[in-house]
Amino acid sequence: MHIINPNAAETQMGGGEYPAAENEPLLAAVASGGDSSIQIPDPALTKKDVTSSTTKGTSFFYTVFNLAHTIVGCGILTLPFACSCVGLGAFMILLVVMGLLSLATLSVMVRCSEAQHVYTFKELAQRMFGRAGGVAVELTILVYSFGASVSFAVILGDYTTLVFAEWLPGTILSQRWFCVLIIAAIGFGPLSLARRLEFLRHTSLISMICVAFAIVVAIVRLVAPVDMPPIPADKQAIVFFTSDFSKLFVATPLISVAFAAQYNVQTLYKELRQPTPARMDMVSVLTTVAVGILYGAMAFVGYLTFRGTTPPNILRGYPATDILANLARLGMAIVSNFSYPFVQFPCRLGKPFPNKVHVPLCLGLVALCVLLSIVVPDMAVVLDLTGSLAGSAIVYIFPALFAYRFLSPRWKIPTVLLGLVGLALAVLGCRSSILHAIEVFGGQA
């Protein structure tokens, strides 16, 4: 987690018109000095007409970065642990399989939208299930994206507090609540006001640089560890394929959710310059390959560093005194800050609200996420469970249902198999979350 893919800067297909000044993107309005004389496209125009009549669209290059940023978050830090659960060989196989499945669902979502000429999850669901189905899909994506939003706020507080407690002990910067409030006020709060993902393209580039830096730090610490405790002799072996089948139940959901981007792919497609399904497929393929390389590198290096003692979050394994590790933690805090608008984007109910509604809605969501992250910092059990259920539905089950209904008969068997995979992953994720809950609450008893 990124209530459906909103069309924040554009008139909805088949919907009514809104005042131009009210619907002009906030960032664009500032840049143009508040000029509200933009042309509102005819609701009867196609998606391509709307895109070309209102904006040049996002370039291929920046669409790749925006999609990669939607996919990659702090979940990359859990992948070395997933690798330690199943072994290097099994992990790489699972990574390729999950990447291919995610790539298939990204393509399916774009083609279903083209087939029905609607470009949100909600509208596709309404075409298939009726109005009630659209509401159900909205709620599913709301649960997933809001949970992810809270997670990013929690991670921001964790990393900044850990670093500043080491660098500036005893100061207000070492207080978790203060760090979260300040970053929300000057960071992800204002960014969340963007009406189009296109406006976040530069922050996506910065985030990918920060992720790459974290991988470089992991490589350096593999070669030149600093103040690292020795690995026990019985934990030093490098495992390629685990003999403990139950570990698949832990690793598979972690790898599966790491490729989630389906809730924003239609928005990115609409904003793409010269959008066609084939062009978007090229974006998806290039992004998935690049993300897979990043994931594989982090998992490989992290696992070789810690072997059988790999922690659930790789950066937690380095000492608090490690300067490079602290810089990597700050880098991942930046990633969380810039990722927040992407996962919050679907929470806006898929409607082009006027500014007087848009601003309070966005800032209200930010305030609620900040409050929860400060008051209830350890929400891992709840977020694990909702992420497993809603994530599997968004990434696999809903796209499979849409493809079964809206695409040609040759898609029938593959989509049935895809839906079954989604159900299996939901069950595996729930099982893992429940076991985690038992472990957490059992330890507190």
What is the DSSP-derived secondary structure letter of residue 13?
Answer: T
- Cα torsion angle, 311, 428, 402, 93, sign: positive
Residue 262's pLDDT is: 86
Helix (H, G, I), strand (E, B) or coil at 58: strand
DSSP state of 36: -
Cβ-based neighbour number of residue 281 at 10 Å: 15
CATH number assigned to the domain comprising residue 105:
1.20.1740.10
Q: How many helices (H) and strands (E) would you count in the chain?
A: 19, 0
Residue stretches of the chain with pLDDT short of 50 = 1-54, 445
State the pTM of this model: 0.80
The token duo for 7 is 């069309």
In a domain, 390, yes or no: no
Answer whether residue 24 is part of any domain.
no
Contact 331, 260 (CB under 8 A): no
Indicate the DSSP class of residue 75.
Answer: G
Closest by CA position to 380, among listed 435, 425, 331: 435
Number of domains in the chain: 1
Which two three-digit tokens encode residue 55? Answer: 């904006």
Q: 131 lies in which domain range?
A: 57-379
Mean pLDDT of the chain: 81
Q: Is residue 221 part of a domain?
A: yes
How many Cβ atoms from other residues are within 10 Å of residue 445's Cβ? 4
For 276-321, write each residue's pLDDT tens digit. Answer: 999 999 999 999 999 999 999 999 999 999 999 999 889 989 999 9
The DSSP result for 90-143, as a single string, is: HHHHHHHHHHHHHHHHHHHHHHHHHHHT--SHHHHHHHHH-HHHHHHHHHHHHH
On the 0-12 / 13-18 / 19+ scale of CB atoms within 10 A, 349 is middle
Q: What are phi and psi of 73, to 5 degrees?
A: -140, -155
d(CA 409, CA 135): 27
Q: Is residue 31 part of a domain?
A: no
pLDDT of amino acid 383? 58
Two tokens, residue 234: 């019985």
Please, are residues 90 and 240 in contact by the beta-carbon 8 Å criterion?
yes
**The predicted structure's pLDDT at residue 306:** 95
Instruction: Dig out the tokens for 439 from the structure.
Output: 């472990």
Q: To 10 degrees, the CA torsion angle through 419, 423, 429, 432?
A: -150
Residue 317 lies in a domain: yes
Please indicate, yes or no, if residue 415 is contained in any of the structural domains: no
Report d(CA 3, CA 350) in Å as an integer.
6
Q: Please name the amino acid found at residue 119.
A: Y
End-to-end CA distance of the chain: 30
CB neighbour class for 371 (10 Å; exposed up to 12, middle 13-18, buried from 19): middle
Rounded to 5 degrees, φ, ψ at 435 are: -65, -40
* Residues 6 or more apart whose Cβ sits within 8 Å of residue 368: none
φ/ψ of 7, rounded to 5, equals -105, 65
| CA atoms of 426 and 422, how far apart (whole Å) | 6
Longest alpha-carbon distance in the chain: 71
The answer to the question of residue 209 being in a domain is yes
Domain contains 414: no
